[in-house]
Amino acid sequence: MKKRVLGNSGLEVSALGLGTMNMTGPYGPPQEPPEMVALLRSAVERGVTFFDTAEAYGPLENEKLLGEAFEGIRDDVVIATKFGFDFDPESTTGLGALNSRPEHIRKVTDEMLKRLRTDHIDLLYQHRVDPDVPIEDVAGTVKELIAEGKVRHFGLSEASVQTIRRAHAVQPLTAVQSEYSLWYRGPETDVLPTLEELGIGFVPFSPLGAGFLTGKIDLTTELDASDIRSTVPRFAAEFREANLALVDLIREVATRKDATPAQIALGWLLAQKPWIVPIPGTTKLYRLEENLGGADVTFTADELAEIDAAASKLQGAGDRLPKALLDLTGK
């Protein structure tokens, strides 16, 4: 597996990481823990070193999987996790209000270390910006955790350019995580130029559009009620036909390059900047192997220009998240 460095941080990771969220939901019921532990270890055997989790995934159960899987090989992997929520067992997701108060960050960091069975977190993200806590206080708290050796690098998820700059001035950011793919290119407007200016890496989540860009979802696909995508507007039946035009384009490119649509989508992301590290998620070994093949897909400048020109003519339909989640982004 090829390696990449996240910005100017010196943090080297595999060119493709592994997003682990769906191992404990929400694209359907949680998977069997022993199977997911085996999949995580298989990823390491195939050269993946960068693993993305969060206390909110499960909640709490996802980090335990990584703790079990990586015990004994901790030095071979880079673990990224996230703080930023209270937990409410009465809610449908288990999540409560945003909470990035300094005392809360300190408390949950110690709890995450126990679940991960480690003495340090390689990359600690604020999961969502808390409007009630100045970002300088958040960055300052993580800076103290770095000084104490509990954390090695700091990141933000779904943050605005203004928040990125303010945080970076207190504690240099190693990475920013946001959604980015051929289906959603919002970060290109201002986030990516800012990260390039400041020397910060970028970690796109949902690089395959939550599975849509793989071509496995069509007009007849029915999403189970336990699948969060059943509540996402852009997956709705009335928008799906318009969105499938992009999948058709990706499939055409894949045929020409003897690759799968997923590999084209991931290869395209890797071609955008050398400091971009996508984190496609999966719960299946054959999908993991397919996705990793995306790191070997290359494009000429003319091919990239052709894809951009064709994609620019396609108008996607439907919001990328339910309104409640969309309201938490870009703060």
Which positions are catalytic?
A: 57
Torsion-angle region of 199 (φ positive above 0: left; ψ -120 to 50: alpha; else: beta): left
Residue 208 burial (CB count, 10 A): 29
Cα separation, 274 vs 5, whole angstroms = 8
Cα–Cα nearest to 246, from 165, 312, 156, 297: 312
Cα separation, 83 vs 99, whole angstroms = 8
Helix (H, G, I), strand (E, B) or coil at 24: coil
Scanning 117-236, the segments in alpha helix (DSSP H) are: 135-147, 161-170, 191-198
Query: In Å, how far are 26, 54, 127, 174, 331 from 80, measured between CA atoms?
Result: 19, 8, 11, 11, 21
Cα separation, 41 vs 2, whole angstroms = 18
Cα–Cα nearest to 276, from 285, 287, 284, 267: 267
Q: What angle do CA 87, 59, 294 make, to 5 degrees?
A: 135
64 is written with which tokens?
């335990």
Name the helix (H) or strand (E) containing 64.
Answer: helix 61-69
**Helices H, strands E: what count in the chain?**
11, 11
Cα–Cα nearest to 120, from 94, 153, 144: 153
Cα–Cα nearest to 80, from 47, 132, 118: 118
Place of tokens 């009630």: 132
Q: Report whether 278 contacts 204 (CB < 8 A).
A: yes
Residue 221 CA, chain-centre distance (Å), reads: 24
